[in-house]
Amino acid sequence: MKNLSIIIITGLSGSGKTTAVAALEDKGYYCVDNMPVELLPKFLELPIEGNTDLAGLGFVMDLREKNFLSNYESILGDLRARGYRHEIFFLEADEKTLLQRYSATRRHHPLAKGQGIAAAIEAEKRLLKPLRSASDRIIDTSAFNVHELKAHIADIAAKTKSRGSMQINVLSFGFKYGIPRDADLIIDVRFLANPYFVPKLKPLDGADPRIRDFVLGKQNTRAFLTKYLDLLDFLIPLYEREGKAYLTVAVGCTGGRHRSVVIASEVCSHIAESGRQVAKVHRDIGQV
């Protein structure tokens, strides 16, 4: 069982989790919808691995299980320590899209008791924020139709199955919102020139080309990147040789909106050029 790809699908209600798990089933995964996280360790002990046709295992876990949020961290952490390699896919969509989907399907939101759908969506976002930060992939399904989402998930699953190597995650964050607990390597880039203090740049974030040009246009930034990327080129093969399943490289600045976003994007692009599987998450880019 430890040799199988394990994908856990979670996220906001109405974000397309049912479609995502259907895509995994189409790719040969054995899937369980609404899997209680407490049962996962026992499930993984079942002799399913004798089936050589299985591409992997897929589980949908979310707020339909009342104990999910209180138990997932310890249970999944214990499984990872025991050698099970799993990825958490967090699906989300913008509020307008979620409202349209609920209007079209007339389904009930799990948190909509005594309040409207919009309020339930906001409450769910708050509850799932720590899980979102801990996820391996964050997938915004707002622009996808059913067929496009299935194709996207199927493509990711195919790459996950064929990879069999260390998953590298590059995370930007703001120190003022806390250091990410799952980070293996943390670099503090608060020494770089800060576009926050340039009035015309302050409202923008690090995904904007003007912020990127400001940060990368400084000599100190270019010198730092050269040295830091050299360090990562040295370290990553050593972690791979050690058999590490996941490596999270965290890049932090004060608020997580400008400098860390630019540097994390550069780090992610550099790692991708080596052909390694790498994912990028800007944890605090939306903070005000």
> Looking at the structure, do residues 107 and 242 belong to the same domain, yes or no?
no
Residue 119 to residues 94, 100, 130, 192, 198, Cα–Cα distance (Å):
13, 15, 19, 39, 36
Q: Which amino acid type is present at position 2?
A: K
Domains contained in the chain, number: 2
> Is the same domain home to 99 and 175?
no
Written as six digits, the tokens of 87 are: 């990825």
158 and 171 within one domain: no
Contacts of 216 (CB under 8 A, 6+ apart): 222, 225, 262, 266
Q: Could you list the residue range(s) of the whole structural domain that residue 186 is in?
A: 167-282
Same domain for 51 and 73, yes or no, is yes
Can you give the CATH number for the domain in which 152 is found? 3.40.50.300
pLDDT in tens, the chain (288 residues): 556 778 999 999 989 999 999 999 988 899 999 999 999 999 988 876 455 567 889 999 998 888 899 999 999 888 877 778 788 999 999 999 988 888 777 677 777 776 788 888 898 999 999 999 989 889 999 999 999 999 999 888 876 655 446 889 999 999 999 999 889 999 999 999 999 999 999 999 999 999 999 999 999 999 999 999 999 999 998 887 776 778 999 999 999 999 999 999 999 999 998 878 899 999 999 987
Residue 288 maps to a domain: no
Give me the phi and psi of 136, to 5 degrees please: -80, -35
Residues 130 and 203 in one domain: no
- 101 and 243 within one domain: no
Q: Say whether both 178 and 87 belong to one domain.
A: no
Residue 161: the pLDDT is 58
Nearest 5°: the CA angle 35, 137, 187 is: 130
The confidence score (pLDDT) of residue 163 equals 47
Same domain flag for 157 and 15: yes
Are 100 and 173 in a shared domain?
no
Contact indicator for 62, 11 with CB cutoff of 8 Å: yes
The pLDDT of residue 158 is 75
Q: Helices (H) and strands (E) in the chain — how many of each? A: 9, 9
Do 128 and 224 belong to one domain?
no
Cβ–Cβ under 8 Å, residues 20 and 156: no
pLDDT of residue 113: 74
Are 131 and 271 in the same domain?
Answer: no
Q: What pLDDT is attached to residue 32?
A: 93
Residues 62 and 18 in one domain: yes
Where is the domain boundary, 131, 163, 195?
163
Q: Quick check: is 287 in a domain?
A: no
CA end-to-end distance (rounded Å), the chain: 44
